[in-house]
Protein backbone atom coordinates (compact mmCIF):
# COMPACT_ATOMS: atom_id res chain seq x y z
CA UNK A 1 0.00 0.00 0.00
CA UNK A 2 1.20 3.59 -0.61
CA UNK A 3 2.60 5.41 2.41
CA UNK A 4 0.91 8.28 4.21
CA UNK A 5 2.16 11.63 2.96
CA UNK A 6 4.72 13.08 5.38
CA UNK A 7 4.86 16.86 5.05
CA UNK A 8 8.05 17.09 7.09
CA UNK A 9 9.86 14.73 4.68
CA UNK A 10 9.31 17.23 1.90
CA UNK A 11 10.71 20.07 4.02
CA UNK A 12 14.36 19.31 3.20
CA UNK A 13 17.06 20.47 0.85
CA UNK A 14 17.98 18.33 -2.14
CA UNK A 15 21.45 17.36 -0.94
CA UNK A 16 20.22 16.54 2.55
CA UNK A 17 17.52 14.34 0.99
CA UNK A 18 20.30 12.53 -0.93
CA UNK A 19 22.26 11.97 2.29
CA UNK A 20 19.11 10.73 4.05
CA UNK A 21 18.54 8.23 1.21
CA UNK A 22 22.10 6.98 1.58
CA UNK A 23 21.56 6.47 5.30
CA UNK A 24 18.24 4.70 4.75
CA UNK A 25 19.04 2.43 1.81
CA UNK A 26 22.75 1.78 2.33
CA UNK A 27 25.87 3.64 1.23
CA UNK A 28 26.98 0.83 -1.10
CA UNK A 29 23.63 0.38 -2.87
CA UNK A 30 23.94 0.88 -6.67
CA UNK A 31 21.78 3.87 -7.41
CA UNK A 32 22.78 5.33 -10.79
CA UNK A 33 23.70 3.87 -14.17
CA UNK A 34 23.70 4.84 -17.83
CA UNK A 35 24.56 3.27 -21.17
CA UNK A 36 28.23 3.08 -20.18
CA UNK A 37 27.13 0.40 -17.67
CA UNK A 38 29.30 1.62 -14.79
CA UNK A 39 26.87 1.77 -11.84
CA UNK A 40 27.44 4.26 -9.02
CA UNK A 41 26.50 3.69 -5.38
CA UNK A 42 25.26 6.40 -3.04
CA UNK A 43 28.84 6.80 -1.76
CA UNK A 44 30.17 7.04 -5.33
CA UNK A 45 27.59 9.66 -6.25
CA UNK A 46 28.20 11.80 -3.16
CA UNK A 47 32.00 11.63 -3.51
CA UNK A 48 31.83 12.44 -7.22
CA UNK A 49 29.55 15.39 -6.45
CA UNK A 50 32.05 16.81 -3.97
CA UNK A 51 35.03 16.21 -6.27
CA UNK A 52 33.41 17.86 -9.30
CA UNK A 53 31.62 20.50 -7.22
CA UNK A 54 34.90 21.68 -5.70
CA UNK A 55 36.30 22.38 -9.16
CA UNK A 56 33.09 24.07 -10.34
CA UNK A 57 33.11 26.26 -7.24
CA UNK A 58 36.49 27.59 -8.33
CA UNK A 59 34.99 29.59 -11.21
CA UNK A 60 31.39 30.18 -10.09
CA UNK A 61 29.88 32.09 -7.17
CA UNK A 62 27.55 30.91 -4.38
CA UNK A 63 23.96 31.20 -5.55
CA UNK A 64 24.99 31.59 -9.20
CA UNK A 65 22.66 30.24 -11.87
CA UNK A 66 24.87 27.81 -13.78
CA UNK A 67 23.73 26.54 -17.17
CA UNK A 68 23.71 22.77 -17.74
CA UNK A 69 23.64 21.64 -21.37
CA UNK A 70 23.81 17.85 -21.16
CA UNK A 71 21.74 14.78 -22.10
CA UNK A 72 20.33 12.29 -19.61
CA UNK A 73 23.32 10.42 -18.24
CA UNK A 74 25.18 9.69 -15.02
CA UNK A 75 27.22 12.79 -15.85
CA UNK A 76 24.29 15.19 -15.74
CA UNK A 77 23.10 13.68 -12.43
CA UNK A 78 26.54 14.10 -10.84
CA UNK A 79 26.70 17.67 -12.18
CA UNK A 80 23.27 18.48 -10.73
CA UNK A 81 24.23 17.27 -7.25
CA UNK A 82 27.73 18.78 -7.52
CA UNK A 83 26.23 22.24 -8.01
CA UNK A 84 23.96 21.68 -5.01
CA UNK A 85 26.84 20.47 -2.83
CA UNK A 86 28.42 23.91 -3.22
CA UNK A 87 25.30 26.09 -3.25
CA UNK A 88 24.97 26.78 -6.99
CA UNK A 89 21.66 26.64 -8.87
CA UNK A 90 21.41 24.22 -11.83
CA UNK A 91 19.76 25.90 -14.82
CA UNK A 92 18.78 23.11 -17.19
CA UNK A 93 19.00 24.20 -20.83
CA UNK A 94 16.92 22.66 -23.59
CA UNK A 95 19.39 21.89 -26.38
CA UNK A 96 16.50 21.15 -28.77
CA UNK A 97 14.88 24.58 -28.31
CA UNK A 98 16.92 26.42 -30.94
CA UNK A 99 19.52 29.17 -30.62
CA UNK A 100 17.05 32.01 -30.17
CA UNK A 101 15.14 30.35 -27.30
CA UNK A 102 18.37 29.24 -25.63
CA UNK A 103 19.84 32.74 -25.74
CA UNK A 104 16.63 34.14 -24.25
CA UNK A 105 16.62 31.48 -21.52
CA UNK A 106 20.21 32.27 -20.54
CA UNK A 107 19.51 35.99 -20.47
CA UNK A 108 16.37 35.66 -18.33
CA UNK A 109 18.09 33.30 -15.88
CA UNK A 110 21.26 35.40 -15.71
CA UNK A 111 23.47 32.51 -16.82
CA UNK A 112 27.16 33.36 -17.19
CA UNK A 113 28.67 29.87 -17.39
CA UNK A 114 27.38 26.85 -19.32
CA UNK A 115 28.55 23.32 -18.48
CA UNK A 116 28.58 20.80 -21.30
CA UNK A 117 30.71 17.96 -22.71
CA UNK A 118 32.86 17.60 -25.84
CA UNK A 119 31.43 14.16 -26.54
CA UNK A 120 27.84 15.40 -26.37
CA UNK A 121 28.50 18.38 -28.63
CA UNK A 122 30.36 16.23 -31.16
CA UNK A 123 27.78 13.44 -31.26
CA UNK A 124 24.85 15.87 -31.34
CA UNK A 125 26.54 18.04 -34.00
CA UNK A 126 25.84 21.10 -31.86
CA UNK A 127 28.95 23.13 -32.76
CA UNK A 128 26.87 25.96 -34.26
CA UNK A 129 24.84 26.16 -31.06
CA UNK A 130 27.98 26.33 -28.92
CA UNK A 131 29.50 28.96 -31.20
CA UNK A 132 26.39 31.11 -30.82
CA UNK A 133 26.22 30.71 -27.04
CA UNK A 134 29.99 31.08 -26.61
CA UNK A 135 29.86 34.66 -27.86
CA UNK A 136 28.13 35.76 -24.65
CA UNK A 137 28.76 32.93 -22.15
CA UNK A 138 31.68 30.99 -20.78
CA UNK A 139 31.46 27.42 -22.15
CA UNK A 140 33.07 24.87 -19.82
CA UNK A 141 33.62 21.26 -20.88
CA UNK A 142 33.32 18.74 -18.07
CA UNK A 143 36.00 16.47 -19.53
CA UNK A 144 38.46 19.35 -19.11
CA UNK A 145 37.30 19.97 -15.53
CA UNK A 146 37.60 16.30 -14.58
CA UNK A 147 41.10 16.15 -16.05
CA UNK A 148 42.14 18.75 -13.46
CA UNK A 149 40.79 16.78 -10.47
CA UNK A 150 43.95 16.02 -8.52
CA UNK A 151 45.02 14.14 -5.42
CA UNK A 152 43.92 16.95 -3.11
CA UNK A 153 40.46 17.03 -4.72
CA UNK A 154 40.09 13.27 -4.34
CA UNK A 155 41.20 13.40 -0.72
CA UNK A 156 38.69 16.18 -0.06
CA UNK A 157 35.94 14.18 -1.79
CA UNK A 158 36.71 11.09 0.30
CA UNK A 159 36.56 13.06 3.55
CA UNK A 160 33.45 15.02 2.49
CA UNK A 161 31.83 11.78 1.34
CA UNK A 162 32.31 10.31 4.80
CA UNK A 163 30.89 13.41 6.54
CA UNK A 164 28.72 15.07 3.89
CA UNK A 165 26.60 17.18 6.26
CA UNK A 166 29.72 18.94 7.50
CA UNK A 167 30.96 19.84 4.03
CA UNK A 168 27.87 20.53 1.93
CA UNK A 169 26.82 24.16 1.47
CA UNK A 170 24.26 25.45 3.93
CA UNK A 171 20.89 25.87 2.28
CA UNK A 172 17.18 26.11 3.05
CA UNK A 173 14.27 24.23 1.46
CA UNK A 174 12.99 27.58 0.18
CA UNK A 175 16.22 28.22 -1.76
CA UNK A 176 16.16 27.65 -5.53
CA UNK A 177 16.56 24.01 -6.47
CA UNK A 178 16.53 24.33 -10.23
CA UNK A 179 15.57 26.70 -13.03
CA UNK A 180 13.67 25.03 -15.85
CA UNK A 181 11.85 26.33 -18.88
CA UNK A 182 8.34 25.39 -19.95
CA UNK A 183 8.06 23.23 -23.06
CA UNK A 184 6.97 25.97 -25.45
CA UNK A 185 4.24 23.78 -26.97
CA UNK A 186 2.04 26.83 -27.53
CA UNK A 187 4.46 29.77 -27.44
CA UNK A 188 7.76 31.03 -26.05
CA UNK A 189 9.17 29.02 -23.10
CA UNK A 190 8.97 30.64 -19.65
CA UNK A 191 11.59 30.42 -16.91
CA UNK A 192 10.34 28.56 -13.83
CA UNK A 193 12.08 28.60 -10.45
CA UNK A 194 11.40 25.51 -8.36
CA UNK A 195 12.63 25.52 -4.79
CA UNK A 196 14.52 22.63 -3.26
CA UNK A 197 11.49 21.98 -1.08
CA UNK A 198 9.21 21.93 -4.15
CA UNK A 199 11.20 19.12 -5.74
CA UNK A 200 11.64 17.04 -2.59
CA UNK A 201 7.95 17.49 -1.72
CA UNK A 202 6.86 16.21 -5.14
CA UNK A 203 9.03 13.12 -4.67
CA UNK A 204 7.33 12.56 -1.32
CA UNK A 205 3.86 13.13 -2.81
CA UNK A 206 4.47 10.58 -5.57
CA UNK A 207 5.87 8.09 -3.04
CA UNK A 208 2.76 8.47 -0.91
CA UNK A 209 0.56 7.97 -3.98
CA UNK A 210 2.23 4.92 -5.58
CA UNK A 211 3.85 2.08 -3.66
CA UNK A 212 7.48 1.97 -4.82
CA UNK A 213 9.96 -0.83 -4.16
CA UNK A 214 13.62 0.17 -3.57
CA UNK A 215 14.67 -2.95 -5.50
CA UNK A 216 13.12 -1.60 -8.71
CA UNK A 217 15.00 0.06 -11.58
CA UNK A 218 13.67 3.26 -13.19
CA UNK A 219 14.51 3.57 -16.90
CA UNK A 220 14.57 7.21 -17.96
CA UNK A 221 15.15 8.21 -21.61
CA UNK A 222 13.61 11.66 -21.08
CA UNK A 223 15.81 14.78 -20.92
CA UNK A 224 16.56 16.38 -17.57
CA UNK A 225 15.74 19.81 -18.99
CA UNK A 226 12.14 18.50 -18.83
CA UNK A 227 10.74 18.39 -15.30
CA UNK A 228 9.21 14.94 -15.86
CA UNK A 229 12.66 13.60 -16.71
CA UNK A 230 14.36 15.42 -13.81
CA UNK A 231 11.94 14.68 -10.97
CA UNK A 232 10.50 11.40 -12.22
CA UNK A 233 13.63 10.02 -13.83
CA UNK A 234 16.34 11.22 -11.44
CA UNK A 235 15.17 12.54 -8.08
CA UNK A 236 12.31 10.11 -7.45
CA UNK A 237 14.33 6.90 -7.91
CA UNK A 238 17.50 8.12 -6.21
CA UNK A 239 15.74 9.63 -3.19
CA UNK A 240 13.50 6.53 -2.85
CA UNK A 241 16.21 3.89 -3.11
CA UNK A 242 15.62 2.76 -6.71
CA UNK A 243 18.36 2.61 -9.31
CA UNK A 244 18.01 5.36 -11.91
CA UNK A 245 19.05 4.21 -15.39
CA UNK A 246 19.62 7.27 -17.58
CA UNK A 247 19.56 7.12 -21.38
CA UNK A 248 20.56 10.13 -23.54
CA UNK A 249 17.74 10.27 -26.10
CA UNK A 250 14.16 8.98 -26.31
CA UNK A 251 14.51 9.00 -30.11
CA UNK A 252 16.65 5.83 -30.22
CA UNK A 253 13.65 3.63 -30.88
CA UNK A 254 15.57 0.46 -31.81
CA UNK A 255 18.21 0.67 -29.08
CA UNK A 256 15.95 1.40 -26.10
CA UNK A 257 13.69 -1.72 -25.92
CA UNK A 258 16.54 -4.28 -25.62
CA UNK A 259 18.28 -2.02 -23.10
CA UNK A 260 15.10 -1.91 -21.01
CA UNK A 261 15.29 -5.69 -20.86
CA UNK A 262 19.06 -5.86 -20.22
CA UNK A 263 18.93 -3.26 -17.45
CA UNK A 264 16.12 -5.23 -15.74
CA UNK A 265 14.02 -2.08 -15.70
CA UNK A 266 10.86 -2.13 -13.58
CA UNK A 267 9.42 1.26 -14.57
CA UNK A 268 9.68 3.18 -17.83
CA UNK A 269 9.05 6.92 -18.05
CA UNK A 270 7.95 8.09 -21.49
CA UNK A 271 5.30 9.84 -23.55
CA UNK A 272 2.59 8.23 -25.64
CA UNK A 273 4.54 8.95 -28.82
CA UNK A 274 7.66 7.18 -27.62
CA UNK A 275 5.89 4.24 -25.92
CA UNK A 276 4.01 3.54 -29.13
CA UNK A 277 7.26 3.53 -31.10
CA UNK A 278 9.09 1.33 -28.57
CA UNK A 279 6.24 -1.19 -28.55
CA UNK A 280 6.36 -1.50 -32.34
CA UNK A 281 10.14 -1.88 -32.47
CA UNK A 282 10.53 -4.21 -29.47
CA UNK A 283 10.94 -7.97 -29.46
CA UNK A 284 8.38 -9.85 -27.31
CA UNK A 285 10.62 -10.06 -24.22
CA UNK A 286 11.95 -6.51 -24.28
CA UNK A 287 9.16 -4.76 -22.38
CA UNK A 288 7.36 -7.65 -20.69
CA UNK A 289 9.56 -7.39 -17.57
CA UNK A 290 8.25 -3.91 -16.79
CA UNK A 291 5.86 -3.58 -13.87
CA UNK A 292 4.30 -0.48 -15.40
CA UNK A 293 4.95 2.48 -17.69
CA UNK A 294 4.26 6.05 -16.57
CA UNK A 295 3.18 8.30 -19.45
CA UNK A 296 2.99 12.07 -19.25
CA UNK A 297 3.29 15.22 -21.38
CA UNK A 298 0.55 14.15 -23.82
CA UNK A 299 -2.67 12.13 -23.93
CA UNK A 300 -2.30 8.34 -24.11
CA UNK A 301 -4.23 6.97 -27.08
CA UNK A 302 -6.41 3.88 -26.84
CA UNK A 303 -4.34 2.42 -29.66
CA UNK A 304 -1.20 2.60 -27.48
CA UNK A 305 -2.94 0.91 -24.53
CA UNK A 306 -4.14 -1.88 -26.84
CA UNK A 307 -0.77 -2.29 -28.57
CA UNK A 308 1.17 -2.70 -25.31
CA UNK A 309 -1.48 -4.99 -23.81
CA UNK A 310 -1.45 -7.20 -26.90
CA UNK A 311 2.31 -7.47 -27.33
CA UNK A 312 3.63 -7.39 -23.76
CA UNK A 313 1.25 -9.28 -21.53
CA UNK A 314 -0.75 -6.38 -20.26
CA UNK A 315 1.99 -4.12 -18.87
CA UNK A 316 -0.15 -1.25 -17.54
CA UNK A 317 0.27 2.27 -18.91
CA UNK A 318 -0.33 4.75 -16.10
CA UNK A 319 -1.29 8.09 -17.59
CA UNK A 320 -0.43 11.11 -15.48
CA UNK A 321 -0.63 14.87 -15.68
CA UNK A 322 1.65 17.62 -14.55
CA UNK A 323 3.24 20.97 -15.25
CA UNK A 324 6.74 22.32 -14.88
CA UNK A 325 5.30 24.79 -12.37
CA UNK A 326 4.18 21.85 -10.16
CA UNK A 327 7.58 20.10 -10.05
CA UNK A 328 5.81 18.53 -12.14
CA UNK A 329 3.32 15.82 -11.04
CA UNK A 330 -0.25 16.89 -10.24
CA UNK A 331 -2.18 13.63 -10.80
CA UNK A 332 -1.37 10.10 -11.93
CA UNK A 333 -3.03 6.70 -12.19
CA UNK A 334 -1.81 3.82 -10.01
CA UNK A 335 -1.30 0.10 -10.45
CA UNK A 336 -4.58 -1.44 -9.39
CA UNK A 337 -6.34 1.88 -9.86
CA UNK A 338 -5.89 2.72 -13.51
CA UNK A 339 -8.79 4.36 -15.37
CA UNK A 340 -8.10 4.73 -19.09
CA UNK A 341 -9.01 8.16 -20.38
CA UNK A 342 -8.17 9.82 -17.06
CA UNK A 343 -4.91 11.04 -15.52
CA UNK A 344 -5.77 9.52 -12.14
CA UNK A 345 -6.37 11.07 -8.73
CA UNK A 346 -4.69 14.26 -7.55
CA UNK A 347 -1.58 13.80 -5.42
CA UNK A 348 -1.82 14.22 -1.63
CA UNK A 349 -1.31 17.69 -0.09
CA UNK A 350 -2.30 19.39 -3.33
CA UNK A 351 -5.32 21.70 -3.32
CA UNK A 352 -7.38 22.15 -6.48
CA UNK A 353 -9.82 24.81 -7.59
CA UNK A 354 -11.91 24.46 -10.74
CA UNK A 355 -13.46 27.62 -12.14
CA UNK A 356 -16.11 27.72 -14.90
CA UNK A 357 -15.02 28.82 -18.38
CA UNK A 358 -17.54 30.77 -20.43
CA UNK A 359 -18.82 28.72 -23.34
CA UNK A 360 -17.42 25.40 -22.07
CA UNK A 361 -20.14 23.28 -20.48
CA UNK A 362 -18.10 20.48 -18.87
CA UNK A 363 -15.39 20.91 -16.26
CA UNK A 364 -13.52 24.12 -15.69
CA UNK A 365 -10.15 25.83 -15.49
CA UNK A 366 -7.80 24.15 -13.02
CA UNK A 367 -5.84 26.02 -10.34
CA UNK A 368 -3.49 24.16 -7.99
CA UNK A 369 -1.77 25.06 -4.72
CA UNK A 370 0.56 22.98 -2.55
CA UNK A 371 4.14 22.26 -1.44
CA UNK A 372 5.25 21.37 -4.98
CA UNK A 373 4.07 24.59 -6.63
CA UNK A 374 6.86 26.78 -7.98
CA UNK A 375 8.45 29.77 -6.31
CA UNK A 376 7.57 31.71 -9.43
CA UNK A 377 8.26 32.68 -13.03
CA UNK A 378 11.23 34.77 -14.13
CA UNK A 379 10.18 37.88 -16.02
CA UNK A 380 12.20 39.32 -18.92
CA UNK A 381 14.48 41.16 -16.47
CA UNK A 382 15.03 38.01 -14.41
CA UNK A 383 12.81 39.15 -11.53
CA UNK A 384 10.69 36.58 -9.74
CA UNK A 385 6.91 36.62 -10.20
CA UNK A 386 5.35 34.35 -7.54
CA UNK A 387 1.91 32.79 -8.10
CA UNK A 388 -0.89 34.85 -6.55
CA UNK A 389 -1.69 33.48 -3.08
CA UNK A 390 0.22 30.33 -4.03
CA UNK A 391 -2.31 29.32 -6.70
CA UNK A 392 -0.97 28.30 -10.11
CA UNK A 393 -3.29 28.72 -13.08
CA UNK A 394 -2.62 25.64 -15.21
CA UNK A 395 -4.59 26.95 -18.17
CA UNK A 396 -6.10 23.47 -18.53
CA UNK A 397 -9.78 22.58 -18.59
CA UNK A 398 -10.37 19.48 -16.45
CA UNK A 399 -13.18 17.43 -15.00
CA UNK A 400 -13.28 15.31 -11.81
CA UNK A 401 -15.49 12.22 -11.64
CA UNK A 402 -17.34 11.02 -8.55
CA UNK A 403 -14.28 9.03 -7.40
CA UNK A 404 -11.90 11.95 -7.79
CA UNK A 405 -10.22 10.82 -11.01
CA UNK A 406 -9.25 13.73 -13.24
CA UNK A 407 -9.80 13.96 -17.00
CA UNK A 408 -8.11 16.58 -19.15
CA UNK A 409 -10.55 18.17 -21.59
CA UNK A 410 -7.98 20.48 -23.15
CA UNK A 411 -6.15 23.73 -22.63
CA UNK A 412 -8.18 26.92 -22.53
CA UNK A 413 -6.12 27.97 -25.57
CA UNK A 414 -7.08 24.69 -27.25
CA UNK A 415 -10.73 25.58 -27.71
CA UNK A 416 -12.05 27.28 -30.84
CA UNK A 417 -15.23 29.33 -31.15
CA UNK A 418 -17.07 28.10 -34.24
CA UNK A 419 -20.46 29.51 -35.08
CA UNK A 420 -20.80 30.73 -31.50
CA UNK A 421 -19.99 27.29 -29.99
CA UNK A 422 -16.83 26.35 -28.07
CA UNK A 423 -15.19 23.28 -29.67
CA UNK A 424 -12.31 21.33 -28.11
CA UNK A 425 -9.33 20.89 -30.42
CA UNK A 426 -8.25 17.96 -28.25
CA UNK A 427 -11.61 16.26 -28.89
CA UNK A 428 -11.14 16.81 -32.63
CA UNK A 429 -7.70 15.13 -32.39
CA UNK A 430 -9.30 12.19 -30.58
CA UNK A 431 -11.81 11.93 -33.41
CA UNK A 432 -9.01 11.75 -35.98
CA UNK A 433 -7.19 9.16 -33.88
CA UNK A 434 -10.34 7.02 -33.92
CA UNK A 435 -10.50 7.18 -37.70
CA UNK A 436 -6.78 6.46 -38.22
CA UNK A 437 -5.41 5.02 -34.94
CA UNK A 438 -1.92 4.23 -36.21
CA UNK A 439 -1.25 7.76 -37.49
CA UNK A 440 -0.29 10.95 -35.64
CA UNK A 441 -2.61 13.94 -35.71
CA UNK A 442 -2.78 17.55 -34.52
CA UNK A 443 -5.68 19.96 -34.81
CA UNK A 444 -5.26 23.73 -34.79
CA UNK A 445 -7.69 26.57 -35.40
CA UNK A 446 -7.47 29.33 -37.98
CA UNK A 447 -9.58 32.45 -38.58
CA UNK A 448 -12.68 32.00 -40.69
CA UNK A 449 -14.61 35.01 -42.10
CA UNK A 450 -17.99 33.28 -41.78
CA UNK A 451 -17.80 31.18 -38.59
CA UNK A 452 -15.12 33.03 -36.60
CA UNK A 453 -12.70 30.06 -36.56
CA UNK A 454 -12.30 26.77 -38.37
CA UNK A 455 -10.52 23.53 -37.49
CA UNK A 456 -7.55 22.28 -39.49
CA UNK A 457 -6.28 18.71 -39.14
CA UNK A 458 -2.56 18.23 -39.67
CA UNK A 459 -1.79 14.52 -40.06
CA UNK A 460 0.87 12.09 -41.25
CA UNK A 461 -1.89 9.89 -42.71
CA UNK A 462 -1.30 10.69 -46.37
CA UNK A 463 -4.66 9.32 -47.57
CA UNK A 464 -6.70 11.08 -44.87
CA UNK A 465 -9.94 12.55 -46.20
CA UNK A 466 -12.72 14.72 -44.85
CA UNK A 467 -15.31 12.18 -46.02
CA UNK A 468 -13.72 9.41 -43.92
CA UNK A 469 -13.54 11.71 -40.90
CA UNK A 470 -17.18 12.75 -41.27
CA UNK A 471 -18.27 9.11 -41.56
CA UNK A 472 -16.35 8.16 -38.40
CA UNK A 473 -17.83 11.13 -36.54
CA UNK A 474 -21.33 10.02 -37.47
CA UNK A 475 -20.55 6.46 -36.34
CA UNK A 476 -19.43 7.58 -32.86
CA UNK A 477 -22.02 10.34 -32.54
CA UNK A 478 -19.54 13.22 -32.48
CA UNK A 479 -20.93 16.71 -33.16
CA UNK A 480 -20.49 18.04 -36.67
CA UNK A 481 -18.64 21.13 -35.41
CA UNK A 482 -15.85 18.89 -34.05
CA UNK A 483 -14.97 17.61 -37.54
CA UNK A 484 -12.11 19.49 -39.25
CA UNK A 485 -13.04 20.40 -42.82
CA UNK A 486 -9.49 21.19 -43.89
CA UNK A 487 -6.70 18.57 -43.85
CA UNK A 488 -2.98 19.24 -44.23
CA UNK A 489 -1.00 16.05 -44.92
CA UNK A 490 2.65 16.01 -43.82
CA UNK A 491 5.41 13.35 -43.76
CA UNK A 492 5.85 13.73 -40.00
CA UNK A 493 4.15 15.54 -37.10
CA UNK A 494 6.78 17.76 -35.44
CA UNK A 495 7.46 17.16 -31.76
CA UNK A 496 9.56 18.93 -29.15
CA UNK A 497 12.54 17.36 -27.40
CA UNK A 498 10.20 16.37 -24.57
CA UNK A 499 7.98 14.35 -26.91
CA UNK A 500 5.14 16.88 -26.83
CA UNK A 501 3.47 17.93 -30.05
CA UNK A 502 5.01 21.17 -31.33
CA UNK A 503 1.88 23.23 -31.97
CA UNK A 504 3.87 26.37 -32.79
CA UNK A 505 5.55 24.59 -35.72
CA UNK A 506 2.25 22.99 -36.75
CA UNK A 507 0.50 26.36 -36.78
CA UNK A 508 3.23 27.69 -39.09
CA UNK A 509 2.83 24.68 -41.39
CA UNK A 510 -0.92 25.22 -41.67
CA UNK A 511 -0.50 28.95 -42.29
CA UNK A 512 2.09 28.25 -45.02
CA UNK A 513 -0.33 25.80 -46.65
CA UNK A 514 -3.14 28.38 -46.48
CA UNK A 515 -1.01 31.08 -48.13
CA UNK A 516 0.00 28.68 -50.90
CA UNK A 517 -3.62 27.66 -51.61
User: Does residue 466 carry a pLDDT above 90?
Assistant: no
Q: What percent of the chain has pLDDT over 90?
A: 56
pLDDT, averaged across the chain: 89
Consecutive H or E run containing 40: strand 40-41
Domains plus CATH for the chain? 13-25+38-201 (3.40.50.12780), 340-413 (2.30.38.10), 419-516 (3.30.300.30)
CB-neighbour burial class of residue 435 (10 A; exposed 0-12, middle 13-18, buried 19+): buried
User: Does residue 436 carry a pLDDT above 70?
Assistant: yes
Q: Which residue has the higher pLDDT, 188 or 449?
A: 449
Q: Which residue has the higher pLDDT, 184 or 329?
A: 329
User: Does residue 97 carry a pLDDT above 90?
Assistant: no
Which pLDDT does position 421 carry in this prediction?
65
Which pLDDT does position 434 carry in this prediction?
86
| Diameter of the chain measured on Cα atoms | 75
Which pLDDT does position 184 carry in this prediction?
55
Which has the minimum average pLDDT: 129-143, 242-256, 500-514? 500-514
Which pLDDT does position 66 carry in this prediction?
97
Residue 197 · residue 371 · CB < 8 Å = yes
User: Does residue 221 carry a pLDDT above 90?
Assistant: yes
* Residue 59: partners with Cβ closer than 8 Å, 6 or more residues away: 113, 138, 140
Collapsed DSSP state (helix, strand, coil) of residue 406: strand
Could you read off the pLDDT of 151-178 as tens digits, one per residue?
A: 999 999 999 999 999 999 999 999 999 9
User: Does residue 141 carry a pLDDT above 70?
Assistant: yes
User: Does residue 2 carry a pLDDT above 60?
Assistant: no
> Region 287-305: what's the mean pLDDT?
86
Highest-pLDDT range among 393-407, 413-427, 432-446 = 393-407
Which pLDDT does position 511 carry in this prediction?
78
Consecutive H or E run containing 513: helix 503-516
Consecutive H or E run containing 44: helix 42-57
Highest-pLDDT range among 111-125, 351-365, 479-493 = 111-125
> Region 122-136: what's the mean pLDDT?
91
Residue 86 · residue 56 · CB < 8 Å = yes
Kindly report whether the peptide bond that precedes residue 467 is cis, defined as omega within 30 degrees of 0: no
Q: Which residue has the higher pLDDT, 395 or 42?
A: 42
> Region 81-93: what's the mean pLDDT?
97
> Region 138-154: what's the mean pLDDT?
93
Residue 284 · residue 259 · CB < 8 Å = no
Which pLDDT does position 498 carry in this prediction?
65
Which pLDDT does position 512 carry in this prediction?
79
**183 — pLDDT class (breaks 50, 70, 90):** low
Q: What percent of the chain has pLDDT over 70?
A: 95
Which pLDDT does position 265 carry in this prediction?
95
> Region 117-141: what's the mean pLDDT?
92
Amino acid sequence: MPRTYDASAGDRTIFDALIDARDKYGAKKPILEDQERNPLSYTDLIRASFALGRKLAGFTAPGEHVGVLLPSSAGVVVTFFALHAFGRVPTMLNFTAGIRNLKTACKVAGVKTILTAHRFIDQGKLDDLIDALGAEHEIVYLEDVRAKVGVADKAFAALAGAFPRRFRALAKPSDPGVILFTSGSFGAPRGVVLSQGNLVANVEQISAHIDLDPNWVMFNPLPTFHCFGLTGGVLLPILRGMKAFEYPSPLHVKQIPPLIRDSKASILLATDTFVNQYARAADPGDLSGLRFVVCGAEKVRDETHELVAERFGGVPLLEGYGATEASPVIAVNRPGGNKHGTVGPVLPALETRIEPVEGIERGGRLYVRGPNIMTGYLDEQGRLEPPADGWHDTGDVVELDADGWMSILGRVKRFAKIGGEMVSLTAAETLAAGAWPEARHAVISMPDPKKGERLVLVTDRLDASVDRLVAHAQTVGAPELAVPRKIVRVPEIPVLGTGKTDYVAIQRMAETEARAA
